[in-house]
Structure 1
Amino acid sequence: MMRIDINRIEKEEDIKLLSELNWDGFVFYQYDDEFDKERYNHVKEIAKNYDLKIYCGVKIRSCENLKELKNKVKKYRNNCHIILVEGGVLKVNRATVEMHEVDVLSTPERGRKDSGIDHTLARLASLHRVALEINFKNLLNKEGYERARTLLFFRNNLKLAKKFKVPVVISTDAETKYEIKNSNDLRAFLNTLIDFEYTKEILTTTYKICSFREHLMKDNVIRWGVEILED
């Protein structure tokens, strides 16, 4: 089972720690307004020293201009293995789960008094295979009632995801070594929210998404199922 985190780790000592904490690799993501492929390549060279698989990601900041959002997705689709869209605004959440070019709706509950996902959005996410994110740092950064409410949102979204067969990813979203978590700890955390078998499925979803997009990025692949083969 390949366990792939999603984070912003780029220092060598932090990348080494990822390897020591049972991760097989990670998605190094940058925000769309700072994206630099050379920065990713630098992190990739470091990760190779620790036998970690690394994938390129971009997170598009929450953008209420839906035309601008779609243009950004189109711009980065062929440059990254995984595209995340920062959620929270309801119309952004909806637009995101309607775009099969997007891989992950990140923090759909951000700044909301509900989980950001209902039955309608769950059905759309399932149809277009857009994953919902359980962002562990988003939980840790809250205290008291806000933390309890975020847990409730996570549980609600997991139940909807399981019911409608929506992909789910979990991320540490770490930026420093102090935010990196053991993959087994995240597994134990998920077990408090959902059943054991579903937890195992969640832990492999990021890798499945990245492998799918990596395949599509090959020069001889026209689209899924259509490839140019040499004689």
Structure 2
Amino acid sequence: MITKPVDINHIFDEEGIKLLKELGWYGSVAVQHHDGYDNEKLECVKEYGEKHGLRIYSGIKIPSKSSKELSKVVKKYRNKVDIILVEGGVIKISRKALEMHDVDILSTPELNRRDNGIDHVLARLGSSHRVAIELNFKSLLEKKYYERARILWAFRRNLFLAKKYDTPVVISSGAENIYDIKSPNDLRSFLNTLTMDSNYSKNIMEMPYKIAEYRTYLRKNNVIRYGVEVVVDNK
């Protein structure tokens, strides 16, 4: 059984939140693009989450062509959201993202590439800095024929490298509406066909919750860094 599965998506409407809960999700990372970040939109989806019993985490996805720009945007949003994703596809950006402790997930490293977007050097960086590699299920479903086969190969290759170098991996539905939403069991079954290892698939399914809770903990006012807290003695 998967412990507290959390999906990563772009669902902000009440119907979608209700469906996520009904399908068995514990929580949802509601991801916005950084250039269109709207805090009111986030607060609204959190209200839907409270109403239907779904834990809502905030997320930002950053597409960038410049390492300098990436650093600036990550710094701007690190204390505003729970999860920071950086869009992959450009090697220098993927490398920069995997070197940053403040980045949580490298999203779609294979984007617009002929290869998988990750090699052994980048996998080691992700392992060292605990930046997860994302498998975006929607990006697969959107493709057909050769392109779908290419992304499947990229997923398998990235899973092989991640497992070899102990790099975190997450899988996301990437859903933008109710028709894109998948259940935790659907995504785990898909992972099982790629990994041929049910325990490894389970670990991947549980990783978004671990990342989100870690970042939520660090954002508490009394936390200086992981394991170091300011404790007030009321005696």
Tell me the TM-score normalised to structure 2 length. 0.97
Distance 2:212 2:151 in 1: 27
Correspondence for 1:81:
82
TM-fit CA distance, 1:38: 1.4
Correspondence for 2:175:
174
TM-fit CA distance, 1:109: 0.2
- Deviation >6 Å, runs of 4+: none
Secondary structure of 2:52's counterpart equals coil
Distance 1:221 1:11 in 2: 32
TM-fit CA distance, 1:50: 1.0
TM-fit CA distance, 1:183: 1.0
Distance 1:87 1:50 in 2: 33
Code of the residue aligned with 1:92 in structure 2: it is I
% identical aligned pairs: 57
Q: Any gaps of 5 or more consecutive residues in structure 2?
A: none
Distance 1:175 1:149 in 2: 23
Correspondence for 1:58:
60
Correspondence for 2:143:
142
- 1:22-37 to structure 2, matched below 5 A, reads 22-37=24-39
Distance 2:149 2:66 in 1: 32
Correspondence for 2:129:
128
Measured against aligned partners, the alpha-carbon deviations of 1:51-107 in whole angstroms (never above 9, x if no partner) come to 10110100001x121111100000000001000001101111111101110000000
Q: Any gaps of 5 or more consecutive residues in structure 1?
A: none
TM-fit CA distance, 1:15: 1.1
Say how many residue pairs are matched: 230
Secondary structure of 2:61's counterpart equals strand
Distance 1:33 1:95 in 2: 20
Code of the residue aligned with 2:141 in structure 1: it is L
Secondary structure of 2:194's counterpart equals coil
TM-fit CA distance, 1:209: 0.3
Distance 2:77 2:104 in 1: 12
Code of the residue aligned with 2:192 in structure 1: it is N
Distance 2:154 2:69 in 1: 28
Distance 1:174 1:155 in 2: 21
Secondary structure of 1:59's counterpart equals strand
Distance 1:148 1:170 in 2: 18
Distance 2:71 2:16 in 1: 34
Tell me the TM-score normalised to structure 1 length. 0.98
